């Protein structure tokens, strides 16, 4: 019996049943239902049901859309997502290509979101210019599609402007496309709060920081195109010292750093079984010794060939006729 005097005994109360209204169904399989019941988390269950509904409608909501629909903030949405992940359910996928927002989308967001209006004002002040429609589309994508909080997006813009000034000199500003690339990199690395930005443990663990430093990139996060190379080098087992050697060779031969050329050097060393700086430098010394030996042999062969040609039969006959002509003259 509950506090209101109702008895929930098996013999005194009917089983719960959902009324069938003849509408399209949202199917929840038995295994998912058991997992959600065992999880005992209302937010996680509600998020899962919302996603099932969108699946039945053949729609793909963004994290921002879900948060608005459920009337949650981004932290509550992320907490529910994390709870679902404990049951092996991955729900929020990053799009392969950023969405392009129309002018109408941008105007709607500016009218309905005071947070986005404030973010736009701060970003334009930081960059010292008004943003174009394509720029606004990128900014809105960071806000909606990646579900980055406005304070983190502003931190991202500040980070990119500082990096541009450090690399190219005072007054040089990044493009919104460069900021977008950095934003997707932050999202992949799980940077969704200022605390995440300050704590780069995952980033340091996979050697990216050490690689970027020896490549002269400082402490900035790699963009997606750079991550592909860095991850391959990490998987091949190269320490930062070896990457530094490949960097030196790249700049020496190309007069500038080129990612693809540097990757080619490291790939060749990996295929040859050389990974540590000591192995590479030893093999490099042998290569130059063999090269010098071959050059000396080639020079000696050329000299001997020249001597041999001096005493060939045809040359001796030619000289005999030259001397005979001199005497007759």
- pTM for this structure? 0.42
Torsion of CA 75, 77, 79, 84, to 10 degrees: -170
Question: Which pLDDT does position 307 carry in this prediction?
Answer: 46
How wide is the angle at C-alpha 254 spanned by C-alphas 248 and 259, nearest 5°? 70
Task: Report pLDDT digits (tens) over 227-284.
Answer: 889 888 987 888 889 999 999 999 999 999 999 999 999 999 988 888 888 888 886 6
Q: Residue 136 in contact with residue 105, Cβ under 8 Å?
A: no
Task: Report pLDDT digits (tens) over 113-125.
Answer: 999 999 999 999 9
Average pLDDT over residues 76-98: 68
End-to-end Cα distance, the chain:
143
What would the two tokens of residue 89 be?
Answer: 């359910």
DSSP assignment letter at 3: T
Question: Which pLDDT does position 111 carry in this prediction?
Answer: 94
What would the two tokens of residue 18 be?
Answer: 């959902």
Question: Which pLDDT does position 31 carry in this prediction?
Answer: 76
Task: Report pLDDT digits (tens) over 101-146.
Answer: 999 999 999 999 999 999 999 999 999 999 999 999 999 999 988 8
What would the two tokens of residue 41 be?
Answer: 């988390």
Task: Report pLDDT digits (tens) over 223-233.
Answer: 777 888 988 89
Question: Which pLDDT does position 112 carry in this prediction?
Answer: 92
Q: Which one is predicted more confidently, 125 or 185?
A: 125
């Amino acid at each position: 019996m509950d506090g209101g005097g109702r008895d929930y005994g098996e013999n005194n109360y009917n089983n719960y049943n959902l009324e069938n209204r003849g509408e399209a169904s949202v199917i929840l399989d038995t295994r998912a239902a058991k997992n959600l019941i065992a999880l005992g988390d209302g937010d996680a269950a509600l998020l899962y049901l919302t996603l099932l509904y969108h699946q039945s409608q053949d729609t793909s909501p963004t994290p921002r859309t879900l948060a608005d629909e459920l009337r949650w903030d981004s932290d509550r949405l992320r907490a529910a997502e994390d709870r679902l992940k404990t049951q092996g359910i991955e729900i929020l996928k990053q799009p392969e290509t950023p969405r392009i927002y129309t002018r109408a989308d941008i105007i709607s967001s500016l009218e309905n979101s005071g947070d986005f209006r404030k973010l736009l004002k701060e970003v334009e002040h930081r960059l010292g210019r008004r943003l174009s429609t394509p720029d606004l589309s990128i900014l809105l994508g960071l806000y909606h599609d990646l579900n980055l909080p406005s304070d983190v997006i502003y931190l991202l813009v500040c980070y990119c402007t500082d990096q541009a000034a450090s690399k190219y000199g005072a007054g040089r500003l990044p493009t919104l496309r460069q900021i977008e690339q950095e934003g997707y990199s932050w999202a992949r690395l799980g940077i969704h709060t200022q605390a995440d930005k300050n704590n780069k443990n995952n980033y340091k663990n996979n050697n990216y920081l050490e690689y970027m430093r020896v490549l002269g990139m400082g402490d900035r996060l790699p963009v997606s195109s750079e991550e592909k190379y860095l991850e391959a080098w990490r998987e091949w087992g190269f320490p930062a010292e070896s990457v530094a050697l490949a960097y030196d060779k790249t700049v020496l031969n190309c007069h500038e750093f080129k990612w693809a050329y540097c990757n080619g050097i490291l790939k060749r060393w990996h295929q040859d079984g050389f990974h540590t700086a000591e192995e590479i430098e030893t093999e490099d010394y042998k290569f130059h010794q063999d090269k010098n030996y071959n050059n000396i042999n080639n020079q000696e062969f050329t000299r001997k060939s020249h001597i041999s040609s001096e005493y060939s039969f045809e040359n001796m006959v030619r000289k005999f006729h030259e001397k005979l002509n001199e005497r007759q003259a």
